[in-house]
Amino acid sequence: MLNTHHIARTLQRFACLSAALLASAVGAQVAPVATEQRVMEIVESRCALCHGREGVSSSPIYPRLAAQHPDYLLKQLQDFREKRRKSDTMSDMVKGMKDEEFRGLVAWFSSRKPAFRQPSDTDLAEVGKYIFTKGNPFSGVPACASCHGPNGHGTQQLPRLAGQHPVYLESQLKDFGDRERTNDNAVMHSVASKLTALEVHAVAVFIGGLQ
């Protein structure tokens, strides 16, 4: 038998549920993004110097951001801001920035055209290709392609590598190996710590030439 108390409780639960649904619908609708004007102001005044306006950095020590996956980029920016990923340069750059500015920056850079550079040392690139597609079964290095994709294009959560500057790639592989890359390094530490110096160099050169 239904008593009024029971009915009141049911109604109350329903009200809570609708409020929660409404809140999540509103939340999903309006993840705020800074205005285009504000975003371009930041790109030109703060990011372009090192990463290029189009995300194609001129110096090989700075990563290319063009065509990188938005979720990955957003997470890196948040990690630099919270100092989970250690880089004094980048933490200074994004200090005090809001998520809505990050979302705008990420939308800009992820939609730029990627670049690549044909390796000049083709023998080295062949060694790199072997590591990339097959790994090194003798030392237990897994194929990079098994996670980053056959052409290094990555996935929503996993970074694109194709066309990245070899010098930057080498520095990150070294940092993963030494756990100097401080955020989410578990998987890549187990990969990078098994690579020899020659393998690191070769795979980086090969990846830099992937389109």
Which parts of this chain interact with ligand HEC (CB under 6 A)? 42, 46-47, 49-51, 62-63, 65, 68, 73, 76-77, 87, 89-90, 93-94, 105, 131, 141-142, 144, 146-148, 158-159, 161, 169, 172-173, 183-184, 187-188, 191, 203
152 contacts 160 by C-beta, under 8 angstroms? yes
Query: Closest distance between ligand HEC and the C-beta of residue 23, in Å?
Result: 29
Residue 2 or 109: which CB sits closer to ligand HEC?
109
Query: Closest distance between ligand HEC and the C-beta of residue 104, in Å?
Result: 10
Residue 10 or 57: which CB sits closer to ligand HEC?
57
CA atoms of 170 and 200, how far apart (whole Å): 6
Query: Closest distance between ligand HEC and the C-beta of residue 136, in Å?
Result: 8
CA atoms of 131 and 44, how far apart (whole Å): 38
208 contacts 166 by C-beta, under 8 angstroms? yes
What are the residues whose beta carbons fall under 8 Å from the beta carbon of 106, sequence distance 6 or more?
70, 73, 74, 77
Query: Closest distance between ligand HEC and the C-beta of residue 162, in Å?
Result: 11
Distances (CA, A) of 191 to 78, 162, 166: 25, 18, 17
